[in-house]
Amino acid sequence: MTAVEALASELFRLTEQDVRTPCHGADEWTSDHAQDRAHAAALCLPCPVFALCRQAADELKATYHVWGGRDRTAPTRPKPANRPMSHRVGREGHPNPMQGSPRQRGAKAGSELPFAAVTEPAPDAVPPPPRPIPNPDPTGSTP
C-alpha cells in the first residue's frame, strides 16, 4: 500500500469515528498567504495522521500547500519596489536613445553616462528664435 493510499484509508477511518483532523474544512493549509500556511503547519503537530500525511506528500512530490506540518509552497521572490529603467536594456528597436549599457552607448570604461550626447543639440540643428525682451515701460511706448 502506498503512502497516499494509507493516508486516504486512515482519514476514512477517522471520519467514521467522527474524529476530525486540524485541516478538515480549513483554508489555511491552502492559503496564498505564507503567514496563514505557517500557522497551519503549527496546527499539524497533534494531528493523528501527521506522519502519513508527510509521507504522502513526499510520495507525491508535493510543491504546494501544507502537508504533515511542512509548508511545501515554493517561496516567491518579492518584486522590487522601485524597479530601475535598466530592465529595458537589450531591447532591440526600442525608441529610447539611451537604450543599452553605457558601453553600448559609446561610454568608455569608468566614465559617466554620456548624457551630453543626448542633451546637446546636433551640430546641424536650427537654434530656436530669440525671445522678445519685454518692454519695461508700463505705458507701452517704445524709444
Judge whether 53 lies within some domain: yes
Judge whether 109 lies within some domain: no
Count of H-run helices and E-run strands, the chain: 4, 2
- Global pTM reads 0.51
Domain range holding 10?
A: 3-71
Q: Residue 114: its pLDDT value, please?
A: 47
| Stronger pLDDT, 76 or 35, i.e. the higher one | 35
Using the predicted structure, report yes or no on whether residue 62 has a pLDDT greater than 70: yes
Judge whether 60 lies within some domain: yes
pLDDT digits 0-9 by tens, 83-126: 555 555 445 555 555 555 555 555 555 545 444 444 555 666 67
Q: How many domains does the chain have?
A: 1
> Region 65-89: what's the mean pLDDT?
73
Judge whether 128 lies within some domain: no
Across the chain, the runs of DSSP E, i.e. the strands, are 66-67, 70-71
